[in-house]
Amino acid sequence: MSSERLAGLLDEYAELEKRLADPAIHADQATARRVGRRYAELVPLHKAAGELEQARADLTAARELAAEDPSFAAEAESIGATLPALEERLAELLIPRDPHDAKDVIVEIKAGEGGEESALFAADLLRMYSRYAERRGWLTEVIDAQDSDLGGVKDVSLSIKTKGVPDGGNGVWSRLKWEGGVHRVQRVPVTESQGRIHTSAAGVLVLPEAEDVDVTIDQNDLRIDVFRSSGPGGQSVNTTDSAVRITHLPTGIVVSCQNEKSQLQNREQAMRILRARLLAAAQEQADAAASDARKAQVRTVDRSERIRTYNFPQNRITDHRIGYTAYNLDLALAGELDGVLDALAEADRAARLAGDTELTRR
């Protein structure tokens, strides 16, 4: 493990602890939250380093006592046996982590080919993530949605947030970053009169929600259009130009929102999504330009291809990236996603550890 990196992170921990103890920082809630998140990320490292240092000191003392009294030899051996696990834990915590792990997310779900069946499946995914968030004690908010005729959703943007500072710096992104990609469903659609199994799909995009300090947007780079909302939404629908479409001219990214009754509210929601998309685009550019060493540490789970199949006749959920299969689809759709998410997290941990080993050989 890198002693210089460890020393630097422990110094950062001490500095953040001082900043959080200063009442003045809490006058700016955004800064306090950002500093608190980083501090929470470093708490496990500080704890692991302290435990290892204490164990080494105890071992030295036990060996000194054993030199004078052989009865302490067993205690020294017992303490020594704990060191490898403590060293491994600290080494794992020293591996550079995903810089977005503490962030909240915006989940975008879009119906694909398959008409109403795809829209109904997109609604199933929306409920699945909402229920999972509820189980975790997270807060959810539908930012924008376009419903289909049979109760599905053609396109929906869902905000998912932690309450306060996430424990250990493990925010919503640290759990749901694996979900981006094409999700495929196999079942008998409600529109199928012959009882035949159909296959359709929906696309999921998971974006770390950007803060103002993450992305700078020049208002001159925006084209903002207003139009009349369509679909369910109250008395203002189809009567006022409350829907907003924002085009970011340098990138061509287009975001529209129509859920809220006021034009101002729709504009604010659209800007949230735009900031998240710009942050994701900047991260993709940084990853593409990275060195071979940096690429070795980037997540190996490909989020751009078909990632998962939901087979209703067999009650089966299969994640194709890691070969995960479980026959509890009904529970997964009810929000019990920890099985597949834990498997993905473990695969990522193993990949990062392997990448770190390769780097140290160079």
**Could you write out the DSSP letters of every residue in 270-295?**
HHHHHHHHHHHHHHHHHHHT--HHHH
pLDDT confidence tier of residue 228, bands split at 50, 70 and 90: confident
Of 18-32, 206-220, 294-308, the range with the lowest mean pLDDT is 294-308
- pLDDT of 79: 92
Q: For residue 285, is pLDDT > 90? A: no
pLDDT confidence tier of residue 361, bands split at 50, 70 and 90: very low
Calpha distance 164→337 (Å, rounded): 23
C-alpha torsion sign, points 65, 69, 75, 80:
positive
Crossing angle of helices 29-68 and 3-21, in 10° steps, is 130
Buried/exposed code over 92-119 (b: 16+ C-beta within 10 A; e: otherwise) = bbbeebbebbbbbbbbbbbbbebbbbbb
Calpha distance 221→255 (Å, rounded): 14
Q: For residue 357, is pLDDT > 50? A: no
Calpha distance 111→118 (Å, rounded): 5
Q: For residue 239, is pLDDT > 60? A: no
Mean per-residue pLDDT over the chain, rounded:
85
Calpha distance 73→95 (Å, rounded): 35
Task: Pick the more confident residue, 240 or 313.
Answer: 313
231 SS3 class: coil
Cα-to-chain-centroid distance, residue 301 = 13
- The residues with which 107 forms a beta bridge, in sequence order, are 158, 206
Other C-beta atoms closer than 10 Å to the C-beta of 242 total 23
State the amino acid at position 138 in one-letter form: W
Q: For residue 303, is pLDDT > 80? A: no
- pLDDT of 302: 38
Q: For residue 235, is pLDDT > 50? A: no
- pLDDT of 212: 67
Task: Pick the more confident residue, 167 or 45.
Answer: 45
| For range 313-321, the mean pLDDT | 96
Q: For residue 343, is pLDDT > 90? A: yes
C-alpha torsion sign, points 17, 23, 25, 30:
positive
Six token digits for residue 9: 């992170």
Q: For residue 339, is pLDDT > 60? A: yes
- pLDDT of 105: 94
- pLDDT of 320: 94
Q: For residue 230, is pLDDT > 90? A: no
State the amino acid at position 206 in one-letter form: V
| % helix, strand, coil for the chain, step of 5 | 50, 20, 30
- pLDDT of 231: 57
| For range 264-283, the mean pLDDT | 90
State the amino acid at position 213 in one-letter form: V
- pLDDT of 261: 80
- pLDDT of 118: 92
State the amino acid at position 234 in one-letter form: G
| For range 156-179, the mean pLDDT | 90
Tokens 């087979």, residue located: 311
Q: For residue 248, is pLDDT > 90? A: yes
- Please give the C-alpha separations between residue 332 and each of 37, 142, 162, 220, 315, in angstroms, as whole numbers: 29, 21, 21, 45, 10
pTM for the full model?
0.74
- pLDDT of 350: 85
Q: Which secondary-structure segment (H or E) carries 198?
A: strand 198-208
Most confident of 127-131, 239-243, 254-258: 127-131
What does the pLDDT look like over 10-63, one tens digit per residue?
999 999 999 999 999 988 887 888 888 889 889 999 999 999 999 999 999 999
